Amino acid sequence: MKILGLFLAIILTFASAAFAQDLQVPQNAVAGEGASISTSGSGSATFYLTGPGTSLKRDFKRGETISLSADDLAYAGRYTAALDGGGAQSFFVTAAKPAKLNFMARPSRVPVAHPDVISGVVFVLDRNDNLITTPTTVNFQLGIAGSAPTTRPLQSKNGIAWIKAGSGNREGAAQFTASVGDISAKRVVQQVASDPCNLRMKAQADGKNIQLQTEPIKDCSGNAVPDGTIVTFSESAGGRGRSTVDARVKHGVARATLPSVPGATLTVASGVVLGNEIRWSGGQ
Amino acid sequence: MRLGSIVMIVLLLVLIGAGTVQTKSLHISANTPETALQSFFAQVKAKHWDDAFAMVQPGSGVEKESFIKDLGGNNESLKTISALQDVKTKILRESGNESDLRADLQWSTAVGALHESRDFKLVNDEGQWKIVWTPPAKNDGPPKPLPTTYLRWDVVQRGSSRDEWGVQNVEPPRMRIISMNAIEYQGGVTILGEVVNEDTVPGFVTINAILLDKDGNSIAEESSFDKISHTLLPKEISPFRVDFANRKLADVKSVRISPTNILVPAAADPVVGVFNQRIEKDPNGKSILRGELVTQGGQTVNIPHVLATFYDQSGKVIWVSDGYVDKALLPQQAVPFAVDLRDDLAGQVQNYRITVNYYNSNRS
């Protein structure tokens, strides 16, 4: 009984192989390009093709060549061709040449002169959005108008290339570009001024008040701090109370009016950055 | 016709009777200074301004319009949307035809109860106790309109229909919590701290806190609600306070704080100065942080909200207190404020910082 079973299995295997040999599937099919499958034998048959996003059925005569259009093989991946009455063969369709880059750049706004704050991720795709998994050189370029851009070529791995980059020293709209050959994708990363640096103010008597004004407020790279930034002026007179004004930077400087209290200490700060201190003598 | 005349006569008599009773009740209530003041505030509570003003001793500077504005508020201030809830009166001094009384008023508002303590002088005028109304201190002249030319941020969002993949809208501003402290207070746990907007654009921030037990499970979740200045301009620092009622600090292993921040349109105006800040005791012996608010721009602030951060010797935030001001801030005019300070912490407070939040009726 066991010998009989083994014999039948061998027969079936050979029969299946014989049917499979009826189909000659393409060995180097490329997504989005047509291909043909040659058949052998005689008589009518039905051809089936299944693959990523594809499923078709076609009647044909054995011995003819089955033509598959570019649309039939639009997506990369494993396809299976089969004939009715048994017999099936699988083949792989690879992605075509790079035609599109999906580029994700984060964040859209960064302070200047910070290391590793910008990240860019590129997915290399062909014209049918198939991920190209073969290593591809992606050129990342980050630059701001008026200064030389920095370029870094990187190899993609499994279709993805990514980079971590630091922001430049100048504020403005930095062009962040990823390119493969003549295909490129561009993003804009707004480089903004960092924390104020060397915050200084001066005081002037104005009747019963003190007029306080900062020098032009800049970050440590020399970029002007944007208007609207909060600058806190404080006046502390020990047991005689204190006064504070959260002023806004306007045209590069911040101004405030505080009551004049002789002997008071005047301070200025913006966020967590402290500026200079003035001992107010009453404007004498 | 005859029946109609009879009905009219009866109605007239009823009305005359009612008027007599009303007048009588006023007369009865004005028999003592305390009942007179109670009766006065009963009219204020009912917003019967004519009746209330009738109980005020006529004098120079006493005008009905300013009287109503003083008690009922104006310029869309918090007072205008408040209702007098409760009045407690106390005689401070009594001598013959004059009495000094203190009224502790509780107003109910949309932002919670407001407490006010005012002293009144009453004089006996031909058997009737009258209130000597002190007109509110007048500022130097009328409000000065000033041009408002500060920066304004608007948010323009991209259309979402045909965006390329990977393209995004502007990111929310970067907010950072720069200090945090967990304390136990009045049978609950309170999380205190400060948050700074490190970005160059304004943001709306809310602090959410989750208490975790020793196994990392969530015990309770709360947000800062109005104990924070939600809209932060670039480099602006706000205190925050999150209260968990009926919790014990011993049950809490850790606290997970997550600021939720979004980019919002905002204006850099108004600039509010906080002058003459000092900690002192109120008439009841309670520690109070007082000062004056002055807008340095040209915009009216309808409802100012004062947030006070108290620090100990090491610079740690030990308490965050807040208070709404029931008067609107007119340009360049000082309005006093007072914020509670916990008496048990008064000795530990080495430093404090006041920030002013605001709500405007025309804020967009």
CATH assignment of B272-359, given 2.60.120.10, 1.10.3720.10, 2.30.130.40, 2.60.40.10? 2.60.40.10
Q: Which residue has the higher pLDDT, B11 or A155?
A: A155
pLDDT band, very low/low/confident/very high, at A5 (cuts 50, 70, 90):
low
Distance from C-alpha of A218 to C-alpha of A193, rounded to nearest angstrom: 8
Tens digits of per-residue pLDDT, A157-204? 999 999 999 999 999 999 999 999 999 999 999 999 999 999 999 999
The pLDDT, as a whole number, for residue B190 is 96
Within an 8 Å CB–CB cutoff, is residue A238 touching chain B?
no
Is domain A100-192 annotated with CATH 2.60.40.1930?
A: yes
Q: What is the overall mean pLDDT for chain A?
A: 89
- Which of B169, B171, B277 has its CB closest to that of A241? B277
**B25-132 topology per CATH:** Nuclear Transport Factor 2; Chain: A, (3.10.450)
A189 contact residues in B (CB cutoff 8 A): none
CATH superfamily of B169-264: Lipoprotein YajI-like (2.60.40.1620)
Q: Are A110 and A117 in contact (CB under 8 A)?
A: yes
Q: CA dist A258 to A262, A264, B311, B327, Å?
A: 12, 11, 23, 22
The pLDDT, as a whole number, for residue A85 is 74
pTM here?
0.77
Residues of chain B with CATH 3.10.450.50: 25-132
Q: Which chain A residue lies closest to B237 (C-alpha atoms)?
A: A271
A231 contact residues in B (CB cutoff 8 A): 235
Within an 8 Å CB–CB cutoff, is residue A195 touching chain B?
yes
- Inter-chain touch B273–A256, beta carbons under 8 Å: yes
Of A54-58, B141-145, B176-180, B293-297, the poorest mean pLDDT is in B141-145
* Mean pLDDT across B85-103: 89
Q: Provide the CATH number for the domain formed by A2-94 in this structure.
A: 2.60.40
B279 contact residues in A (CB cutoff 8 A): none
Tens digits of per-residue pLDDT, A97-153? 999 999 999 998 999 999 999 999 999 999 999 999 999 999 999 988 878 888 999
Q: Beginning with the edge strand found earlier in the chain, give each strand of the sheet holding A230-236 in spatial order.
A: A273-279, A265-270, A230-236, A242-248, B272-281, B287-295, B335-340
Tens digits of per-residue pLDDT, B309-359? 999 999 999 999 999 999 999 888 899 999 999 999 989 999 999 999 988
* Mean pLDDT across B68-87: 89
B296 contact residues in A (CB cutoff 8 A): 245, 247, 256-257
**A196-279 topology per CATH:** Immunoglobulin-like (2.60.40)
Residues of chain B with CATH 2.60.40.1620: 169-264
Tens digits of per-residue pLDDT, A83-108? 887 778 999 999 999 999 999 999 98
| Cβ-Cβ contacts under 8 Å for B55 (sequence gap 6 or more) | B26, B30, B36, B39, B40, B43, B130, B131
Q: Which chain A residue lies closest to B279 (C-alpha atoms)?
A: A241
* Mean pLDDT across B39-62: 88
Within an 8 Å CB–CB cutoff, is residue A119 touching chain B?
no
Residues of chain A with CATH 2.60.40.1930: 100-192, 196-279
The pLDDT, as a whole number, for residue B321 is 95
pLDDT band, very low/low/confident/very high, at B157 (cuts 50, 70, 90):
low
Q: Are B297 and B331 in contact (CB under 8 A)?
A: yes
The pLDDT, as a whole number, for residue B115 is 85
On the question of pLDDT at B165 being above 50, the answer is: yes
The pLDDT, as a whole number, for residue A240 is 78
Tens digits of per-residue pLDDT, A210-256? 999 999 999 999 999 999 999 999 999 877 789 999 999 999 999 99
Q: What is the overall mean pLDDT for chain B?
A: 84
The pLDDT, as a whole number, for residue A149 is 87
- Inter-chain touch A246–B271, beta carbons under 8 Å: yes
